Amino acid sequence: MGKRFENKIAVVTGAGGTLCSEIALQLSLEGAKVFLVGRTMDKLEKTAEKILAAGGVPPTAVSCDVTDEKAVEDLAQLVHGAGGCDFLINGAGGNNQKAMPTITRFDPKELTGELPEGQKGLYDIDIAAFRSVLDINTMGTVIPLLAFSKQMIAKGSGSVVNFASMNSFCPLTRCFAYAMSKAAVCNLTQSFAAYFAPAGIRINAVAPGFMVNERSKNYLGTVEEGLTPRGQQVIGHTPMGRFGEARDLTGCVKWLLDDEASGFVTGITVPVDGGFLTLGGV
């Protein structure tokens, strides 16, 4: 019996990150040839080494800014030469501290410059950073989707998994640009799914909850070693009582990619959040 994704070609953006590196590994173990895409080659090479050590199909690492149309077109040509894209995981994205205030509610002092040192309000944020968050999370999803959907059209089928967030449904405090952009990912997932359905392309999204990585450990702590105040808030709002791990996401992604398992599913966003969205906070 062959592997589930044998002879398939997958493009994974953000493949140097905690979540998408694990997705890339799992797809390669299922037989897919994976193109690892990101801005930092060192991180991509670490993912490639992990795949090779696990016995996965040897991947190809490509440094690429997914908001750069020319760079993505060059990447698409490379993938076309290998046989064309079957799966696209739009995992590249992120936030920027410069786009975030430090306070959670409006304070008149932010208009007079009298906030305490080290604090900033919404009027003090860096608008260029705000735009950059919108760009990486929205256009960084749209540009690869447009480039690789052409190859899927030529094949008569394909599957795309975009990365939304809990912020898509209910924005967390201070995350204005991030929440805006991730809400947009849900909407574009629906609208592009409807548009490309006649071409046999399915487009869905996952919305990860609070996942464990080095950055989250710094500002949330861990259940095992102690939580920060914000981490305590998160766990108190998560019925399953823990943070998510990359392995919690991979099964959902593989289900969405698999035509036999989810062939009549398109345009949805699946929360993978330990039940975070089930609680109203009251």
Whether 151 contacts 79, CB under 8 Å: yes
What's residue 1's pLDDT? 56
Give the integer Cα–Cα distance in Å for 238 and 232: 10
Pair 228, 88 in one domain: no
C-alpha–C-alpha distance, residues 132 and 185, integer Å: 15
* 30 is a domain residue: yes
Residues 65 and 149 in one domain: yes
pLDDT at 2 over 90: no
pLDDT for 226 equals: 87
Same domain, 89 and 185: yes
Same domain, 44 and 142: yes
Residue 8 pLDDT greater than 70, yes or no: yes
Instruction: Give residue-wise pLDDT tens across range 159-192.
Output: 999 999 999 999 989 999 999 999 999 999 999 9
What share of the chain has pLDDT > 90, as a percent?
Answer: 89
Is it the case that residue 28 has pLDDT exceeding 90?
yes
Neighbours of 6 (CB within 10 A): 12
Q: Is 168 domain-assigned?
A: yes
Q: Per-residue pLDDT for 27 more than 90?
A: yes
What is the percent of the chain where pLDDT is above 70? Answer: 99
pLDDT number for residue 238:
93
The model's pTM is 0.95
Residues 223 and 176 in one domain: no
Residues 168-177: tens digit of each pLDDT: 999 989 999 9
236 is written with which tokens?
């108190």
Shared domain for 262 and 172, answered yes or no, is yes
**Structural domain contains residue 118:** no
pLDDT, tens digit (0-9, with 9 covering 90-100), for 196-233: 999 999 999 999 999 987 777 777 888 888 898 888 98
pLDDT digit string (tens) for 76-99?
Answer: 999 999 999 999 999 999 999 999
Residue 33 within a domain: yes
pLDDT, position 216: 75
Catalytic residue among 123, 178, 195, 219: 178
Is residue 158 in some structural domain? yes
45: three-class secondary structure by DSSP: helix
Task: Write out pLDDT tens, residues 88-136.
Answer: 999 999 999 999 999 999 999 999 999 999 999 999 999 999 999 999 9
Average pLDDT along the chain: 95
Which residues form the domain of 225?
213-243
The answer on 142 and 14 residing in a single domain is yes
Decide if pLDDT at 14 tops 60: yes
Q: Is residue 132 part of a domain?
A: yes
Q: Examine the domain organization and report whether 236 and 248 are in the same domain.
A: no
Are 81 and 131 part of one and the same domain?
Answer: yes
Note the pLDDT tens digit of each residue in 58-77: 999 999 999 999 999 999 99
| 259 and 202 inside one domain | yes
Are both 16 and 94 inside the same structural domain?
Answer: yes
Is 23 within a domain? yes
DSSP letter assigned to residue 244: B
What local confidence, expressed as pLDDT, does residue 194 receive? 98
Indicate the pairing of strand 158-163 with strand 269-272: unpaired
Helix (H, G, I), strand (E, B) or coil at 142: helix
Average pLDDT over residues 240-266: 96
Domain presence at residue 3: no
Q: Could you tell me which residue, 270 or 230, shows the higher pLDDT? A: 270
- 239 and 249 belong to one structural domain: no
CATH number at residue 166: 3.40.50.720
- The answer to whether 178 is a known catalytic residue is yes
Angle between the N-to-C axes of helices 176-196 and 127-134, in degrees from 0 to 180, rounded to the nearest 10: 30
Residue-level pLDDT at 222 = 84
Please give the tally of structural domains in the chain: 2
